[in-house]
Amino acid sequence: MNIKSIQVLSYTVPLKEPVEAYAAGLMTGFGMVIVIITDENGNIGQGYTTMHSKQELAIARIIEDTYKPILINSDSSRIEYLWKQMWKQSHYAGRGGPVSFAIAAVDAALWDLLGKRLKQPLWKILGGYSPNVKVYAGNIDLNFPIAKILENATKNIEEGYKAIKMRLGRSTLKEDIERVEAVRNHIGDEIELMADANEAWRVDQALKASNELSNFNLTWLEEPITPDDYKGYAYLKNNGKTPIAAGENLHTLQEFQLLFHYNGVDFPEPDYTTCGGFTPFMKIAKLAEANNLPVMSHGAHDVHIQLLAACPNAAYMEVHAFGIEEYISHPLQIKEGYGLVSDLSGIGFEFNFDKLKQYKTN
Ligand SMILES: [Mg+2]
């Protein structure tokens, strides 16, 4: 079924309150690009990608100028072929980075279109492993006082979460440890706790943190160092006392291959919005499986549930603070620590464009 038209929409979506993570600093909103693909029979597929604010226009422009001419009148069901064509067309200024974000939005819309046309949810088309995926609350709270973090943890537990993540990277490790200790004491041993340093440390600092944090039974320590220091990750995984999570800042299948090759991660966390869409995400999930590793996700939980529900090695899904639940028809449902996948066709929800239009930037 050939593609008749493509619409590219960009937004800056405000957050309810400013939140801080070490690598990004203080954030008041996030950028979002939605791609709407219509085929010649009138079937519609929608996909989106998110990024830090003020970058959505550049990413929308890549899709408009570079990918639209390739896609119009092409067969929408040849997703692997179209992915390759987009990659090829932008490879010199690409091979990851903004190009991976741009391809992701198109790829997601192509998969949604396929699901809508087949009248099947994507999780079944992609493998159909389990309709329930274990979730955790991916709080962004580096700027919050301890009292507020504890209050939010209580709210998370009331909402049905059995696992909670907090941020690290305050000015001293002592302060980070005090915050982790306060949260662990508050939630008890039954609730899982993860900590995300968002690239805050050098390798030597990260090793010290990994060992001191082992007193608090963390499920993982996430991105303690810069994302592409694969040997550094291997050193920390092999010498530290806390399991390692990473992957949200890797933008290609090959970067994950390197991370696995160096044995640098316990919990790989690809993000379809940063690694080029559902097509490479599923390959990364299978590459993890072949390396006897689980697969997680970062961000975009309303969509990632469709991908992780297809994977036998899915372990945890992050429910991220950049939520779009207010702007979609069927937000993620959480029950007793699990996210429940939607059985509606494609990605399982529709955007509310009336509600989004106030934040439009193109
Ligand atoms: Mg993270």
How far apart are the CA of 222 and the centre of ligand 1, in A?
Answer: 6
Q: Is 330 exposed, middle or buried (0-12, 13-18, 19+ CB in 10 A)?
A: middle
What pLDDT shows up at residue 339? Answer: 98
CATH topology of domain 3-119: Enolase-like; domain 1 (3.30.390)
Residue 293 has φ and ψ, to the nearest 5°, of: -115, 155
How far apart are the CA of 158 and the centre of ligand 1, in A?
Answer: 23
**Average pLDDT estimate for 177-181:** 98
How far apart are the CA of 27 and the centre of ligand 1, in A?
Answer: 14
How far apart are the CA of 114 and the centre of ligand 1, in A?
Answer: 30
- E strands of the chain, at which residues? 3-21, 25-39, 44-52, 132-138, 163-167, 192-196, 221-222, 244-246, 267-268, 295-297, 314-320, 333-335, 338-340
Q: Please report which confidence band the pLDDT of residue 148 belongs to, taking 50, 70 and 90 as the band edges.
A: very high
What pLDDT shows up at residue 90? Answer: 96
What pLDDT shows up at residue 330? Answer: 97
Give the tens place of pLDDT for each residue, 283-305.
999 999 999 999 999 999 999 99
How many C-beta atoms lie closer than 10 Å to residue 148's C-beta?
12
What stretch(es) of the chain map to CATH 3.20.20.120?
Answer: 123-340
What is the distance between the alpha carbons of residues 258 and 246, in angstroms, rounded to a whole number? 12
What is the distance between the alpha carbons of residues 28 and 9, in angstroms, rounded to a whole number? 20
How far apart are the CA of 223 and the centre of ligand 1, in A?
Answer: 6
What pLDDT shows up at residue 59? Answer: 98
Taking Cα atoms as reference points, which of 241, 284, 237 lies closest to residue 264?
237
**Average pLDDT estimate for 168-192:** 98
CATH code linked to domain 123-340: 3.20.20.120
**Average pLDDT estimate for 2-25:** 96
How far apart are the CA of 284 and the centre of ligand 1, in A?
Answer: 17
How far apart are the CA of 205 and the centre of ligand 1, in A?
Answer: 18
Give the tens place of pLDDT for each residue, 332-352.
999 999 999 999 999 999 999
How far apart are the CA of 320 and the centre of ligand 1, in A?
Answer: 9
Name beta bridge partners: 318. Answer: 136
What is the distance between the alpha carbons of residues 145 and 33, in angstroms, rounded to a whole number? 33
Give the tens place of pLDDT for each residue, 58-101.
999 999 999 999 999 999 999 999 999 999 999 999 999 999 99
Let me know: does 274 contact 100? Beta carbons within 8 Å: yes
How far apart are the CA of 46 and the centre of ligand 1, in A?
Answer: 26
What pLDDT shows up at residue 68? Answer: 98
Q: Please report which confidence band the pLDDT of residue 138 belongs to, taking 50, 70 and 90 as the band edges.
A: very high
How far apart are the CA of 102 and the centre of ligand 1, in A?
Answer: 21
How much of the chain, in percent, has pLDDT values that exceed 70? Answer: 100
Give the tens place of pLDDT for each residue, 240-284.
999 999 999 999 999 999 999 999 999 999 999 999 999 999 999
Name beta bridge partners: 322. Answer: none
What pLDDT shows up at residue 196? Answer: 98
Give the tens place of pLDDT for each residue, 322-332.
889 999 999 99
What is the distance between the alpha carbons of residues 297 and 248, in angstroms, rounded to a whole number? 8
Let me know: does 355 contact 149? Beta carbons within 8 Å: no
How far apart are the CA of 323 and the centre of ligand 1, in A?
Answer: 15
Residues with CB under 5 A from ligand 1 (ion): 196, 222
What pLDDT shows up at residue 169? Answer: 98
What is the distance between the alpha carbons of residues 21 and 143, in angstroms, rounded to a whole number? 8
How far apart are the CA of 196 and the centre of ligand 1, in A?
Answer: 6
What stretch(es) of the chain map to CATH 3.30.390.10?
Answer: 3-119
What pLDDT shows up at residue 235? Answer: 98
How far apart are the CA of 303 and the centre of ligand 1, in A?
Answer: 17
Displacement of CA 242 from its chain's centroid (Å):
22
Taking all residues of the chain, what is their mean pLDDT, rounded to a whole number? 97
How far apart are the CA of 70 and the centre of ligand 1, in A?
Answer: 34
How far apart are the CA of 248 and the centre of ligand 1, in A?
Answer: 6
How far apart are the CA of 239 and the centre of ligand 1, in A?
Answer: 21
How far apart are the CA of 186 and the centre of ligand 1, in A?
Answer: 22
Task: Take residue 46 and report the two structure tokens written for it.
Answer: 């929608």
Radius of gyration for the chain, computed over Cα atoms and rounded to the nearest angstrom: 20
